Amino acid sequence: MKRLLVAPGMAVVLFLGGCLPSIGPEKDKVIQENEKVEETVMIPDIQLKDEYYRTLLPFKKSATRGLVVKNIYTKYDIQEAEEGLMRLSAQHFDPKNHFFQEGQFIDKKTASAWLARSTTNADGLNPPEATGKDAEVQPIYLAHIIEQNYLTMTDERKVSLSGISIGLALNSVYYSRDGKQTTISDKELEKQGMDLAEIIVSRLRAKEGFEDIPIVVGLFKQEKRNSIVPGTYFATAFADKGKSAPSGWKEVNERYVLLPATSDIDNYREINTRYSHFKQDIDKYFPSFVNVIGTGYFKEGRMQSLQINVPIQFFGKAEIIGFTQFMTELVKKYYPNIDIEVSITSVNGPEALIVKIAGEEEYVHIYGY
């Protein structure tokens, strides 16, 4: 198991582009030992938000880097599978005193073996391939395993592993080699996910040095291949020190919804009316826009944030500036109390970005200026 040692502070400055603050000159110099090889990493002083984890530098890539693109269908799911797991982790590993590192203990070979069918690998966690002409399709349930490591600094100025989070990306639709699609029910997905979580936690517990490491588990429902909204975590559990299986399963009531919202969302009529008026004002100003795509993030049935993509034809810079200013006014008018991000793009790429944090002044950037 890896051991992390901390030496006295060292002055280093890392410059970041844009409006992000630079990492401060005073930070901890960390000596990370791995199989008798020492390497120096740094702990940044700056924490942009309370819910963000500070990350050891230089950033260490996941031991399974590359598999996620192969196993998860969309870029939206890839991002949410990682970010959503961080949100679940924050319930157990406080970002104030924990540092983040991508998973280092489940390597690519191990992950590939666990993701295989049981007929092709003895450690495979997916059901055996169906055989025979009339055999019932055996879908692959487990698409990918996301591992995250959380570390803390002790009174002896040492940094050590204090927690592991495991996200199990599960297929809501299985695509067989012959092109057939098998939809997997939420009930079946939950059952399979919980069973898989028990096996994986027990396997981690069997590793030397992992007997007393707390483990967070999240079950992630992957969306269809052509989806433009991400899937979400729908259940989570925790295996405390020494526990060989996760317990206390809880529902995670989060989802992403393409606006207009469906009727099972709280206040969906009000949400849809506001969004409709927002789009109508855009059309009045400039009717030649291709589309306005709004994706809302909902937690416990309430919209927490909104991301809007506005693809446009390419026009002159003055026109883009004028439209961006107009969009900023609409954002302040219609969405003053939620986090919102508006991306204006053309065939040439991003043209402008508007970011409004609830209760704060908006940030506006026009690319090329």
Separate counts of helices (H) and strands (E) for the chain: 6, 18
Mean pLDDT computed over 72-85: 94
Could you tell me if residue 110 is left (phi over 0), alpha (psi between -120 and 50 degrees) or otherwise beta? alpha
- In this structure, the answer to whether residues 231 and 107 fall within a common structural domain is yes
Q: Which residue has the higher pLDDT, 5 or 269?
A: 269
Residue 313 has pLDDT above 90, yes or no: no
Would you say residue 19 lies in a domain? no
| Per-residue model confidence (pLDDT) at position 135 | 61
| Per-residue model confidence (pLDDT) at position 289 | 63
Would you say residue 97 lies in a domain? yes
- In this structure, the answer to whether residues 238 and 262 fall within a common structural domain is no
- In this structure, the answer to whether residues 134 and 176 fall within a common structural domain is yes
Residue 228 has pLDDT above 50, yes or no: yes
- Tokens 């927002």 — which residue? 278
Domain that holds residue 359: 257-366
* Structural domains of the chain, count: 2
Q: Which long-range contacts (CB under 8 A, 24 or more apart) does 69-72 make?
A: 71/115, 71/143, 71/144, 71/169, 72/143, 72/144, 72/169, 72/222
Select from 199, 228, 252 the last residue of a domain.
252
Q: Residue 307: which CATH number?
A: 3.30.300.190
- In this structure, the answer to whether residues 195 and 236 fall within a common structural domain is yes
Would you say residue 40 lies in a domain? no
Would you say residue 20 lies in a domain? no
Would you say residue 130 lies in a domain? yes
Question: Could you tell me what percent of the chain has a pLDDT over 70?
Answer: 86
| Per-residue model confidence (pLDDT) at position 30 | 56
- Average pLDDT of the chain, as a whole number: 85
Select from 230, 252, 274 the last residue of a domain.
252
Mean pLDDT computed over 338-357: 93
Mean pLDDT computed over 301-305: 91
- In this structure, the answer to whether residues 215 and 78 fall within a common structural domain is yes
Would you say residue 293 lies in a domain? yes
pTM for this structure?
0.85
- In this structure, the answer to whether residues 232 and 296 fall within a common structural domain is no
Would you say residue 24 lies in a domain? no
- In this structure, the answer to whether residues 214 and 342 fall within a common structural domain is no
Mean pLDDT computed over 361-366: 93
DSSP-assigned letter for residue 16 = -
Q: Indicate the pairing of strand 215-222 with strand 158-171.
A: parallel
Q: Which residue has the higher pLDDT, 288 or 230?
A: 230
From residue 207, give the alpha-carbon distance in Å to each of 1, 193, 200, 244.
9, 22, 11, 12
Query: What's the CA gap between 60 and 149, in Å, rounded?
Result: 11
pLDDT tens for residues 233-258? 999 999 999 899 999 999 999 999 99
| Per-residue model confidence (pLDDT) at position 60 | 85
Mean pLDDT computed over 73-79: 91
- In this structure, the answer to whether residues 357 and 242 fall within a common structural domain is no
- In this structure, the answer to whether residues 112 and 196 fall within a common structural domain is yes
Q: Residue 133: which CATH number?
A: 3.10.570.10
pLDDT tens for residues 131-172? 766 567 899 999 999 999 999 987 777 788 999 999 999 999
The count of residues in the chain is 369
Residue 109 has pLDDT above 80, yes or no: yes
- In this structure, the answer to whether residues 172 and 313 fall within a common structural domain is no
Would you say residue 55 lies in a domain? no
Select from 225, 252, 279 the last residue of a domain.
252
Residue 314 has pLDDT above 70, yes or no: no
- In this structure, the answer to whether residues 177 and 242 fall within a common structural domain is yes
pLDDT level of residue 2 (50, 70, 90 thresholds): very low
- In this structure, the answer to whether residues 147 and 240 fall within a common structural domain is yes
Return the ∠ at Cα 359 (arms to 358 and 360), rounded to 5°. Answer: 95
